[in-house]
Amino acid sequence: MGQADQVPELSEIRRRAKERMGGVCRVCRVCDGRACAGEVPGMGGIGTGAGFIRNAEALAEIKLNMRVLHDVAEPELGVTLFGLPLELPVLGAPVAGVKINFRELVSEADLAAAMVGGCFDAGTLAMTGDGGHPEVFESGIAAIREAGGRGIPIIKPGPNANIIRKFRAAEAAGAPAVGIDVDAAGLVNMRLLGAPVGPKSPRDIRELAESTSLPLILKGIMTPDEAEIAAECGAAAIVVSNHGGRALDHTPGVAEVLPGIARAVKGRIIVFADGAVRTGVDVLKYLALGADAVLVGRPLAIGAFGAGRAGVARVVEAIRDDLRVAMIMTGCPSIRTIGPQVLAS
């Protein structure tokens, strides 16, 4: 998964990824969870696959107002998050667990290095994952350290003492924030690997927020009341996410729940959203629905399989170029100005 000598075109990256992923991912023309429904472990959505499929459907149902009588020719895509200037409001989502999800077709360390390094090269940063095998978290931390702290580890909701130990590792690696994928509460198989997980009470969250000087992100919030709890208990950010449809069957699409959640907490905490973001137009839609920034998961993993770090960077750059055009075509001079006015009702 090393750096390719010359960065191939996106079509070639996807062709190579399909070959190298050996059926784990079909690299479909439209990545919407239909072909891989039920493939967890793997790249799909859990159960019927409805959560992943709904993410894509709900996003596709959003239509945009095209506006072209203005002077927005050079929109500004930059944002500042956790004190870091980023070239675009798009971060890499944690995609990890090669032993269970990718039949070990790649090493955990190589995948993490490609995701974190590629996002860094494209002017943004990636989140890294955690799992039952210690090397999942450790590979992410090593990649973040290697990138000079440009990465955010997302930790599984195990006992607080274990999470706090991992916070210390994140602090030492120079990470600008830490997170917990609270929606991994139902991963019962983690107990078999000696790393049990479960739901976090408001009291747990308060203890965790107070245990680190870094901003705390809660990933996997799908209702306004839980967004409120996150804000009240000291979280600095949430990710509105159904874990790419991998945590619970039959959740709504993120685009459906995001406006209500943004109304509840936007401005008090950072609101990220993820699920089925494939283009800059998708980014624009989630921002218009209330997100401050978005995460992209599966397409970056495909980039990593296709051309390593350079492949990840290329996928992010394609989304950036598409977002720039989408902002011109909706008359948005900056990320801040993307709002409900771009949504056709």
Ligand X SMILES: Cc1cc2nc3c(=O)[nH]c(=O)nc-3n(C[C@H](O)[C@H](O)[C@H](O)COP(=O)(O)O)c2cc1C
Using the rule CB under 6 A, give the single segment among 87-95, 112-120, 259-267, 328-336 that binds ligand X.
Answer: 87-95
Q: CA 177 to CA 92: how far, in whole Å?
A: 14
Q: Does 277 bind ligand X (CB under 6 A)?
A: yes
**Distance in Å, CB of 71 to ligand X, minimum:** 34
Cis status, amide bond into 41, omega within 30 of 0:
yes
Q: CA 267 to CA 318: how far, in whole Å?
A: 29
Selected from 43, 125, 144, 312, the binder of ligand X by CB under 6 A is 43
Q: CA 236 to CA 241: how far, in whole Å?
A: 16
**Pairing state between β 270-274 and 237-240:** parallel
Selected from 94, 118, 151, 308, the binder of ligand X by CB under 6 A is 94
Q: Where are the beta strands (DSSP E) in the chain?
A: 63-64, 79-81, 84-86, 90-92, 126-128, 151-155, 178-181, 216-221, 237-240, 270-274, 293-296, 343-344
Q: Does 32 bind ligand X (CB under 6 A)?
A: no
**Distance in Å, CB of 342 to ligand X, minimum:** 21
Query: Which of 75/130 has CB closer to ligand X?
Result: 130
Selected from 27, 36, 59, 93, the binder of ligand X by CB under 6 A is 93
Closest C-alpha among 339, 181, 344, 331 to residue 263? 339
Q: Does 97 bind ligand X (CB under 6 A)?
A: yes
Structure tokens, 189:
């198989």
H helices of 122-253, where? 134-146, 160-173, 202-210, 224-232
Q: Does 243 bind ligand X (CB under 6 A)?
A: yes
Using the rule CB under 6 A, give the single segment among 157-165, 193-201, 290-298, 325-333 that binds ligand X.
Answer: 290-298
Using the rule CB under 6 A, give the single segment among 70-78, 129-137, 142-150, 168-176 that binds ligand X.
Answer: 129-137
Using the rule CB under 6 A, give the single segment among 64-72, 141-149, 200-208, 241-249 that binds ligand X.
Answer: 241-249
Selected from 39, 108, 121, 130, the binder of ligand X by CB under 6 A is 130
Using the rule CB under 6 A, give the single segment among 64-72, 116-124, 195-203, 295-303 that binds ligand X.
Answer: 295-303
Selected from 51, 157, 158, 244, the binder of ligand X by CB under 6 A is 244
Query: Which of 295/342 has CB closer to ligand X?
Result: 295
**Distance in Å, CB of 203 to ligand X, minimum:** 22
Q: CA 135 to CA 70: how far, in whole Å?
A: 52
Q: CA 18 to CA 312: how far, in whole Å?
A: 15
Q: CA 320 to CA 277: how far, in whole Å?
A: 12
* Binding track over 173-212 against ligand X, x by CB under 6 A: --------x-------------------------------
**Distance in Å, CB of 194 to ligand X, minimum:** 17
Query: Which of 120/137 has CB closer to ligand X?
Result: 137
What's the half-sphere exposure (Cβ side, CA atoms, 13 Å) at 305? 28
Q: Does 241 bind ligand X (CB under 6 A)?
A: yes
Residues 28-41 as b or e (16 or more Cβ within 10 Å = b): eeebbbeebbebbe
Q: What is the DSSP code (8-state) at residue 340? A: G
Q: CA 321 to CA 136: how far, in whole Å?
A: 32
Using the rule CB under 6 A, give the single segment among 126-134, 225-233, 280-288, 332-340 that binds ligand X.
Answer: 126-134
Beta-bridge partner residues of 219:
181, 239
**Distance in Å, CB of 307 to ligand X, minimum:** 18
Q: Does 96 bind ligand X (CB under 6 A)?
A: yes
Q: Report the interface residues with ligand X, using CB under 6 A.
A: 43, 93-97, 101, 129-131, 154, 181, 219, 241, 243-244, 246, 274-277, 296-298
